Amino acid sequence: MLKALSTNPNIKKPPSQFVSKPKLLLHTCCGICSAWIPEKLSLDFEVTIFYFNPNIHPREEYEKRREAVRQMSEILKIPMLEGEYNPRVWFEKVRGFAGEREGGARCPLCFEMRLLRTAEEAKKFGFEYFASTLTVGRFKPAVVINPIGEKIAAEVGVKFLAGDFKKQGGEMESQKRGREFHLYHQNYCGCVYSLKDRRE
Ligand code: SF4
């Protein structure tokens, strides 16, 4: 049986239900990322989850992670959109960076691609903000991701909600929720290169 999510002590009390909240499109890359952050942000925003991750290899892995996000979307009653899965475009974007390790020069390009697409969708569908759960990951530095988001926000004309979700227990809470809900939990970042590194 599912726990009442609002009993979580790490989550602030919601503002009055009569106050309208700004709409936020939240890029999300896996079930664990979706286990806690969308609910936390829902206190202040009208959140829609956006699953756009052409970096993930292979397709079966992409689908497993998407299914875990969908599970959380249903549990939290937060709507979810999915972008197209076109790994070829991702490979074009990171061409020449195959030899980089996770955290190296390939990753900012990968972040940029996913954030840019989120901002464009946000603009198209009238969201005031866009954001990403990416900073919840231990190897996803906010000092790298937030400036990319800010730059894209200025280019596209949608506000970026900067943050560092791994802080203040965010990483632990997301992992804990993932276990509670028996979500699929991947053991590599996502792309074929990170899978290869993990296997080695
Ligand atoms: S290691 Fe992760 S963040 Fe870096 S390029 Fe691969 S999928 Fe993207």
The pLDDT score that the predictor gives to residue 200 is 86
User: What atom of ligand 1 comes closest to residue 189's alpha carbon?
Assistant: 2
Helix, strand, or coil (residue 23): strand
| pLDDT band with cut points at 50, 70 and 90 for residue 5 | very low
Strand partners, 45: none
Please give the torsion angle defined by the CA atoms of residues 15, 19, 40 and 26, in that order, rounded to the nearest 10 degrees.
Answer: -170
List the domains of the chain with CATH numbers: 19-199 (3.40.50.620)
| pLDDT band with cut points at 50, 70 and 90 for residue 139 | confident
The string of pLDDT tens digits covering residues 61-118 is: 999 999 999 999 999 999 999 999 999 999 999 999 999 999 999 999 999 999 999 9
Residue 107 Cβ contacting ligand 1 at under 6 Å: yes
The pLDDT score that the predictor gives to residue 13 is 47
Helix, strand, or coil (residue 93): helix
Give yes or no for residue 7 having a pLDDT over 70: no
| pLDDT band with cut points at 50, 70 and 90 for residue 25 | very high
Residue 192 and residue 87: Cα distance in Å, rounded?
Answer: 10
Mean pLDDT, residues 42-49: 98
Distance 192 CA to ligand 1 centre (A): 9
Residue 25 and residue 117: Cα distance in Å, rounded?
Answer: 11
The pLDDT score that the predictor gives to residue 17 is 56
Q: Which of 107, 109, 135, 188 to mutate to test the pocket of ligand 1 (most atoms within 8 A of CB)?
A: 107
Residue 106 Cβ contacting ligand 1 at under 6 Å: yes
Q: Whose CA is nearest to atom 4 of ligand 1?
A: 107
| pLDDT band with cut points at 50, 70 and 90 for residue 18 | low
Residue 190 Cβ contacting ligand 1 at under 6 Å: yes
Mean pLDDT of the chain, nearest integer: 91
Distance 166 CA to ligand 1 centre (A): 17
